[in-house]
């Protein structure tokens, strides 16, 4: 018998699964974080808090690290990389005594425990994790339209069904003005334009100034990485 025929693998059989592109420690570490964050947020902020873009991105990320589906990580990256950048700017300004938008004023609310506020620092490191996931899993260009559809749905729910900016609730920690559909200031709605028109402008602004630029950058970045890998 020809030895070459014996040693050559049978190409007609499916190959076994390759090694995971994501380390197991990362999966369990992020899962442990979510196992702490979800019940703590639920108890303090209520279930509507999970309708924020950033919290939706957390659940997409959790699914992405375990299922290793590029679309899930790509959607979260498109949706929150730019907003989280501005969260970090606003937090830094507040820490320096400057009041910009009020987006991160809750981080300096003494009525909230340090532990509760500390959990919100995921706004700072989640973008780096998502960039890592996109680098490992790849970027799915369908993410732009999929995240946009999700974001529009979340905005409509927040606008029509949830408390507006300035609403006085029995528990002051329950979120109002989720996803800033009434303006950037939770204490009072914006007065520049009619509320419904502002909602449309806000959604279009997010799409044009946050989602599309992120989509273009990630598309170009991953294409460049792939070309370097191929060469």
Q: Tell me: the pLDDT tens digits for 125-135? A: 999 999 999 99
Q: Structure pTM?
A: 0.87
**Cα distance between residue 113 and residue 14, in whole Å:** 54
Contact between residue 164 and residue 177 where contact means Cβ atoms under 8 Å apart: yes
Closest CA to 222 of 120, 100, 113, 70: 70
At residue 183, what are phi and psi to the nearest 5 degrees?
120, 170
Contact between residue 214 and residue 81 where contact means Cβ atoms under 8 Å apart: yes
Q: Which neighbouring-strand residues pair with 181? A: 183
Residue 14 binned pLDDT confidence (cut-offs 50, 70, 90):
very low
| Buried-exposed string 31-48: b where 16+ CB fall within 10 A, e elsewhere | eeebeebbeebeeebeeb
Closest CA to 217 of 57, 125, 58, 85: 85
**Stretch 218-227: mean pLDDT, rounded?**
86
5 pLDDT above the threshold of 60: no
**Stretch 175-199: mean pLDDT, rounded?**
93
Residue 3 binned pLDDT confidence (cut-offs 50, 70, 90):
very low
């Amino acid at each position: 018998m020809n030895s070459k025929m014996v040693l050559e693998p049978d190409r007609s059989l499916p190959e076994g699964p390759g090694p995971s592109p994501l380390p197991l420690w990362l999966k369990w570490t992020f899962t442990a974080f979510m196992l702490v964050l979800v019940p703590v947020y639920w108890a303090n902020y209520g279930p509507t808090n999970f309708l924020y873009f950033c919290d939706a991105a957390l659940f997409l990320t959790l699914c992405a690290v375990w299922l290793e589906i590029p679309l899930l990580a790509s959607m979260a990256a498109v949706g929150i990389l730019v907003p989280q950048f501005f969260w970090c700017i606003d937090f830094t300004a507040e820490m320096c005594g400057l009041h910009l938008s009020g987006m991160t004023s809750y981080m300096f609310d003494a009525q909230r425990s340090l532990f509760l506020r500390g959990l919100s620092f995921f706004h700072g490191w989640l973008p780096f994790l998502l960039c890592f996931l996109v680098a490992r899993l790849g970027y799915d260009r369908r993410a732009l339209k999929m995240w946009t559809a999700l974001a529009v749905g979340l905005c409509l729910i927040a606008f029509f069904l949830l408390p507006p900016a300035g609403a006085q609730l029995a528990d002051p920690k329950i979120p109002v003005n989720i996803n800033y559909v009434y303006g950037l200031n939770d204490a009072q709605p914006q007065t520049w334009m009619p509320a419904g028109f502002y909602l449309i402008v806000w959604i279009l602004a997010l799409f044009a100034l946050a989602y599309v630029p992120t989509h273009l950058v990630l598309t170009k970045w991953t294409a460049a990485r792939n070309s370097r890998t191929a060469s």
